[in-house]
Amino acid sequence: MHKLRLPVKVELPAALTRMVLDPKATSLHSDYGSFDKPLGGEEGHNRDVEAAVDGTSSGMAQSSDVYQRQPLLPGAPIKSKDKWNGVGSSSDYYEDEEDDKIDGLEHVRHPGLPNGSGSGIIKIDIPAPLREEPRFPKEKWKTFFAFLFMVVNFILTTASLAMVHERVPDRTTYGPLPDVVLDHVAAQDWALNVSEILIMIMSNSAIVFIIFHKHRFIVVRRIFLLMGLLYMMRSITMYVTVLPMSSKTYYCSPKANNTSPLLVSKRVLQLISGFGLSINGKHTYCGDFIYSGHTVVLVLSYLIIKEYSPKKCHPVHWLAGISSFVGVIMVLISHGHYTVDVIIAYYVTTRLWYIYHTMANNAHLKQYGPNNFLARLWWFPLFRYFEKNVSGTLPRQYEWPLPWPRRLLAKHPNRDS
């Protein structure tokens, strides 16, 4: 039930009357609301004040012209208009059907929203965020070109050895050159086999880590390019300067005193069939000293394992480093190479590896510029061709290389479990 409210005549003090009648006082605003003079002019304003003082019902009806403005609060429903029902009404506000329209735009009510909310939902199309992580394209055709580059230079190295064999100084006339290590260590033929066994173990271990690497095509492309560069430089150094045999017991095939293309081709095929290893009995040609190919493979295998294996595999890294070091020592014990061959091979392999990966991991070093002196390397165009689309350092991520186990373990789209 509603209580009946009778109008009561209230006499306002003179000061309050002056404040109400003062247009400056009525124009003051606060953070929560303010009373403004309605648009009816000065006469309407004075009439409203007189009605409020007289307390008549007609004056109370006219008091609806005095309204209050409040700031919109965050999260509050937006009203197109708030209507007054008079002071004596039991409800200060009411809603009608037009409350759901704002400036002629109708809200869409969604039954799924709680409390039957009539708030309009505005759909804003936000573009997909840009990928901030670096991209690593496979570029398999570049990997194939890198493989061809390595094969060509490996054939070039074997061809250089096939020709150098005819120029090796006679062992009966020229003995081994003075060497600080070989002069104090007796030659052990079995040590060369140990070194080549370690080479096979290290190289196959490096291949396993490459296969399971997520970005295996980029890694193997780098290895092909680096090995091609090392083989190319080795074919030049062994050909320009031929040293006497460092071992007095190593078997060398008889010289043919002929370097015809057919003879060189036969020797190249023989060396390739044995992968350049003496343990297979195919490497019977001598003169490949500067620089040591055994040391190149051992050091390169260690660098691959160290760089592209999981970072927390410290025992594997230490084991690979020790195995490479032992393999190099075995080469010296067998008198298969001079000490200078080993030192040059280690230096060339490590410097080439560090320079290449430093350039690959820094975008500004892949560009020509007056301050990029590494761009003056003769193999920089090759490097830029293979690495220009690789942005950033390769993450140490690994995955199963074959597709069929992953397909078996993957959840079928029609399965519920």
Whether cis (ω within 30° of 0) applies to the bond prior to 174 is no
Q: How far, in Å, CA of 38 to CA of 43, rounded? A: 10
- 324 or 82, higher pLDDT: 324
Q: Is residue 401 very low, low, confident or very high in pLDDT (cuts 50, 70, 90)? A: confident
Q: How far, in Å, CA of 273 to CA of 235, rounded? A: 18
What pLDDT score does 136 carry?
85
The whole-number average pLDDT for the span 147-167 is: 94
Q: Does 294 qualify as catalytic in the annotation? A: yes
Residue tagged 């690994």 (tokens): 398
Query: Which one is catalytic: 48, 99, 288, 341?
Result: 341
What pLDDT score does 256 carry?
86
Residue 121's SS3 state is coil
Q: For 241-291, how does the pLDDT look when each residue is reduced to its tens digit (9 = 90+)?
A: 999 999 888 888 888 887 888 989 998 998 888 877 888 778 888 988 999
Cβ burial of 181 (10 Å; 0-12, 13-18, 19+) is middle
What pLDDT score does 148 carry?
96
Which amino acid belongs to residue 297?
Answer: V
Q: For 44-60, how does the pLDDT look when each residue is reduced to its tens digit (9 = 90+)?
A: 445 544 444 454 444 44
The whole-number average pLDDT for the span 167-187 is: 90
What pLDDT score does 339 carry?
95
What pLDDT score does 49 carry?
42
Q: Residue 166 corresponds to which tokens in the numbers above?
A: 């005819």
Query: Which one is catalytic: 96, 294, 335, 364?
Result: 294
What pLDDT score does 220 carry?
95
Q: Which residues touch 309 (CB under 8 Å, ≥6 apart)?
A: 209, 316, 317, 396
What pLDDT score does 407 carry?
61
Q: For the chain, what is the mean pLDDT?
A: 76
Query: Which one is catalytic: 337, 357, 364, 416?
Result: 337
Residue 91 has pLDDT above 70, yes or no: no
Residues written for the chain: 417
